[in-house]
Amino acid sequence: MQVSKKSTKESVLLVGFPSNGLVGTFTISYLVHHLKMKQIGEIDHPDLPPTLFVEDGEILPPIRIYKKNNLYVIMSDLPFDPFVAYDFAQSILEYCKKNQIKKIIITSGMETVNRDPKAPKIFGLVTHQSLEKLLYDCGISKFLAGSIFGTDAAMITAFRKSKTPALILYAECHPFFPDPEASIVAITTLAKILNVKVDTTDIKKKIERLRIQHRNLMEETIRSLQQQQQEKQPGRAPQIYR
């Protein structure tokens, strides 16, 4: 993997992958294009199905690394099971160590009951107390109670054991369809954290197009989430994430 030169600013890594409502995929994809970030690498895993994507005539691997200034992105266009997710998280931590990245931010979708579809909320969960102030400064409600399982749980478990703090942003969303409203909330929240200006009108146009393009990805993600839910231990904790 590429090692970047030292910077006077704190380096931050954004992570996105298919989850409920494709919130992570839409959010990170939008910021990569909006900030005109450059692809600098990719991550392979032997257990991922052989898959390539084509965009504007360019062949793209399923898990890509982008960079601009002190901001890095690792995003996956493929859903994966918790075992692959743990390896994925370990690769992320190795990359953070080599590139002196000090903070990880993940965006994901959170299935909730009786949410307002026109005004989804967003919650933050941190693996280290050092990021508690970031939640307060950005006005992000803390994720106080619930259950996390599957892909997210595997990744958070790896991050909790590391020295690199991680912030997970959970936007309320529809579990079975791409959710533009939830993605907009995640994008604007992430933009506030990064001190980046975004145009919500432009976001809506791009997300509607992505929703059509990613219908098959949503179906794959649903199958993966349903399989993870069937495999989790029974309990009475509310189903907050995926």
In the predicted model, is pLDDT for residue 198 greater than 70?
yes
Query: Tell me, what CATH number does 118's domain have?
Result: 3.40.50.10900
Residue 3 lies in a domain: no
User: Would the pLDDT of 105 be above 90?
Assistant: yes
Percentage of the chain exceeding pLDDT 70: 72
In a domain, 2, yes or no: no
> Which pLDDT score, from 0 to 100, does residue 137 have?
86
User: Do residues 142 and 123 touch, judged by C-beta distance below 8 A?
Assistant: yes
- Asked whether residue 217 is assigned to any structural domain, the reply reads yes
The pLDDT of residue 220: 54
Average pLDDT in the 107-134 region? 80
Q: Domain limits at 174?
A: 11-231
Name the residue among 119, 231, 117, 232 with its Cα closest to residue 175: 117
Evaluate whether residue 6 is within a structural domain: no
The answer to whether residue 237 is domain-embedded is no
Q: Judge whether residue 196 has pLDDT over 90.
A: no
151 within 8 A of 229, measured Cβ to Cβ: no
Mean pLDDT of 23-32: 87
Tokens encoding 149: 């399982």
pLDDT at 219: 53
pLDDT (0 to 100) of residue 240: 32
* Residue 143 confidence class, pLDDT cut points 50, 70, 90: confident
The pLDDT assigned to 237 comes to 30
Query: So what's the pLDDT on residue 3?
Result: 41
Q: What is the mean pLDDT of the chain?
A: 76
More confident residue, 219 or 25: 25
Give how many domains the chain has, as a whole number.
1
Q: Which of 38-52, 117-131, 158-172, 220-234 is predicted least confidently?
A: 220-234
Domain membership of residue 4 (yes or no) is no
Query: Quick one: average pLDDT of 209-213?
Result: 61
| pLDDT exceeds 90 at position 227 | no
Six token digits for residue 89: 């998280």
- Whether 240 is covered by a domain: the verdict is no
- Decide if 174 is inside a domain: yes
Q: What is the mean pLDDT of residues 39-52?
A: 74
